Structure 1
């Protein structure tokens, strides 16, 4: 169908907003590009082109409209938002949602606080730390120390990330605290195997989603995004390892 200039502009805004929410919430690059293309095609725009990197989105269409760029600064993991955007995209494909309504719903998703509370996140990280310790063949005597250490470490990560914008330092300090708490538990006799406690406690900090997305982007042919996410995952792993190494070096 033929789109008026104002309507075309609204469609572009919908595509960019959908892509921004997905990319900020941890979606893969190829999934973001595919969703933006499907939305544009559903509203009758042919020849839409998008180029997505972890730090920005370029979008243009064949015609007189200029290419638009959105800068991505903050990236986190919120797969529920990705699911909601995909749901809206499917509704758009079936013609059930108008352009203005789609933009309103996407804006609501962007502004919504859909993540779990800090208490739930810390509780889940604590329980996961204890379970990872058992999975790595640790003893049940170390379950409670790993549970406490993992919870303290994850709390430290959230706290330091609010104080320092650079995520590397927050992860480094969180792993340093995990190493110190693990050593204290072993020193006072409440823990037995220092290595198992540390391994279980740092698992909530491991960038599993980043590594997965990096591999999937590389397999899909998005080399720039894949290498960028791989480098980000490497920096996170280096920060975790450096914090633990400093503690162990003083033992």
Structure 2
């Protein structure tokens, strides 16, 4: 009976850590490696894991199996780093399994998320500086920063309001295209193409694309293809929004 209770606690900790890492945008091979290390350091003799972007399954032996669903995903690499730090502390016996579980629950409740105003400032900086790096002109610097900020604001707040995936990318890119066209027509900008390129950069799913490639190279073909398809749909939504602007104007 004691062994069963301990196995349940090990599974609960491993699955919670894995779910939080997937929700934060971690690679699948890193998720499985972390879960397995936690299980072995907790005293499990054998464990098997199976992870996908929408759920994960873990077993300890033949009779102890649990599954956990992942309902949403975002990018929060600092959360991934904190979970790995807790795992390393557990590996060297600085914290117990129970303390590890409580720390994960607290970290899940108090997820580190940058405030909206800071993300908007970062979007402005990324948009304008990348526009310059793509051989843009300094005259377009302020307009690109403003357009990039507005586009990211639509993306950020639309994600919280709309229940349909990829609508936020579409409307954000559509707004970017319209604002860039208006800026050039009002002589507030010169290079329409570079303004749009710079402004859409905060929307590009760079981390999901990178993780998809890394998962495929690591042998996680199902997860890599699923994440690659999700990133492709995001890019397609962005492209359709920009293309619709050119089509209308």
Contact kept? 1:53, 1:224, Cα under 8 Å: yes
What is the distance in 1 between the residues matched to 2:62 and 2:240?
Answer: 51
Query: Which moves more between the two structures, 55-64 or 11-20?
Result: 55-64
What is the distance in 2 between the residues matched to 1:140 and 1:165?
Answer: 38
Contact kept? 1:129, 1:202, Cα under 8 Å: yes
| Structure 2 residue aligned with 1:209 | 207
What is the distance in 2 between the residues matched to 1:245 and 1:166?
Answer: 21
What is the distance in 1 between the residues matched to 2:30 and 2:178?
Answer: 40
Deviation string, structure 1 residues 12-33 (Cα, Å, up to 9, x no partner): 1000010011000000000000
- From 100, 117, 140, give the equivalent of 1:142: 140
Contact kept? 2:7, 2:60, Cα under 8 Å: no
What is the distance in 2 between the residues matched to 1:103 and 1:79?
Answer: 20
CA positional deviation for 1:7: 1.6
Contact kept? 1:3, 1:44, Cα under 8 Å: no
- Give the superposed CA RMSD: 1.1
| Structure 2 residue aligned with 1:30 | 29
| Structure 2 residue aligned with 1:244 | 242
Contact kept? 2:79, 2:111, Cα under 8 Å: no
| Structure 2 residue aligned with 1:11 | 10
Contact kept? 1:146, 1:197, Cα under 8 Å: yes
| Structure 2 residue aligned with 1:55 | 54
What is the distance in 2 between the residues matched to 1:214 and 1:177?
Answer: 28
Gaps of 5+ in 2: none
What is the distance in 2 between the residues matched to 1:173 and 1:127?
Answer: 21
CA positional deviation for 1:63: 4.0
- TM-score, normalised by the number of residues in structure 2: 0.98
SS in 2 for 1:97: coil
Alignment partner of 1:106 is 2:104: yes
Gaps of 5+ in 1: none
| Structure 2 residue aligned with 1:91 | 89
- Which 4+ stretches in 1 moved above 2 angstroms? none
Task: Say how many residue pairs are matched.
Answer: 249
Contact kept? 1:129, 1:147, Cα under 8 Å: yes
CA positional deviation for 1:135: 0.8
Query: Which moves more between the two structures, 2-11 or 94-103?
Result: 2-11
| Structure 2 residue aligned with 1:228 | 226
| Structure 1 residue aligned with 2:158 | 160
